[in-house]
Amino acid sequence: MHASSGYPLYNAEARSRWFSYPPPYWYNNSWYYATPWLWYDGNPHGSYTYSQWQSKIVARMNQPSPFTMSMWGSYNNLDGTGTIYSKFRNDSTATISGNVLFVITEDSLYYAGPNGDVWHNHVARDYIPNIIGTSVSIPPGDSVTVSQPFTTQASWNLNRLEIVSFLQNPNLSPDSTKEVKQGGMIRIVNLAIQDYDSKHLAQRVLPTPNPCIDGTKFTFQLNNGSSYNINIYDECGSLVRRLSGVATGQIDNLRWDLKDNDNNRVNAGVYFFRFVSEEMNSNGKIVVR
């Protein structure tokens, strides 16, 4: 489907990504690319026979990895924008380097391809931000979190969109593999959905991003000169932070930095906020990763 721009499911980034690997088979004294074709662990002999794929993929997935991974993010379904996060923890005894990639995929697409296939799953719609990814180096016992903003298109089916993320060695090994250390996938509809516009801002206070890592900002709109307070509590009900200010009459943003003046960071967990002003009160939950 990515062989030519004439195909309705064509994606130029996916084609470039495809051709960054060696071709799978040798024919008539030349190497040839083929799709679909299963290539795993440097072995091109997965072939294009679907019936052989499941057992080979399951066996590979059952191999232990020295990495644990989690994914989360937020999505505004009014303008189709969001932010995706992936956290990788290195449980091995050596520093691991690689590139973290994100791909928006769409499932269950109907198109009668030249090879006779009519249903296509996990079709690459967008590489975020590109097919190279973000370079990271993770010491043993440490972790790294990578985030990327993303945008969906109105022509894509939101209920069928997933974001795939993985940590991969960018260097081609002697057995023709670019090893994936760990990977995961999350449906966009399972992200923290934000469906607000300027009209709704007057009735609710929205912390963004949520979940958050380094901090979150509260977005709201009050009359000019109105004072407000935001109290943040932990799960036991203890006050963690108090923020206050005076509204400008426009859409205001007030940030909660998870580090205090002594550079101490609040612990990961669930926190609750209460927004108090003369015009409105609002309560909500914040997840800190």
Q: Read off the tokens for 114.
A: 């030249």
Boundary (domain end) residue, out of 192, 223, 248: 192
- 214 with 168, same domain? no
**pLDDT value at position 264?**
78
d(CA 161, CA 195): 17
Rg (CA), the chain: 23
Q: What is the pLDDT of residue 5?
A: 66
Q: For residue 96, tell me if it sits in a domain.
A: yes
Q: Which residues make beta-bridge pairs with 254?
A: 218
Q: Please give the full DSSP string across 136-174, using - where no structure is assigned.
A: EEE-TT-EEEEEEEEE--TTS-GGGEEEEEEEE--SPPT
Q: Are residues 187 and 200 in the same domain?
A: no
Please check whether residues 148 and 203 belong to one and the same domain. Answer: no
User: Which residues in the chain land under pLDDT 70?
Assistant: 1-6, 25-27, 35, 41-44, 115, 175-176, 192-204, 261-262
Range of 243's domain?
196-288
* End-of-domain residue from the set 163, 192, 221: 192
Tokens of 280: 């409105």
127 domain residue, yes or no: yes
Give the residue from 192, 210, 245 where a domain finishes: 192
The pLDDT value recorded for residue 1 is 54
Tokens of 77: 């379904």
Please check whether residues 150 and 233 belong to one and the same domain: no
Q: Which two tokens stand for residue 93?
A: 């005894």
Q: What is the domain count for the chain?
A: 2
CATH number at residue 266: 2.60.40.1930
Q: Quick one: CA torsion of 163, 206, 69, 101, rounded to 10 degrees?
A: 40
Specify whether 84 is located in the same domain as 39.
Answer: yes
Tokens 């590109």 belong to: 130
Which helix (H) or strand (E) segment holds residue 17: the answer is helix 12-18
Q: How far apart are CA 233 and CA 231, in angstroms?
A: 7
For residue range 223-242, what is the model confidence (pLDDT) as tens digits? Answer: 899 999 999 988 777 889 99
Same domain, 229 and 87: no
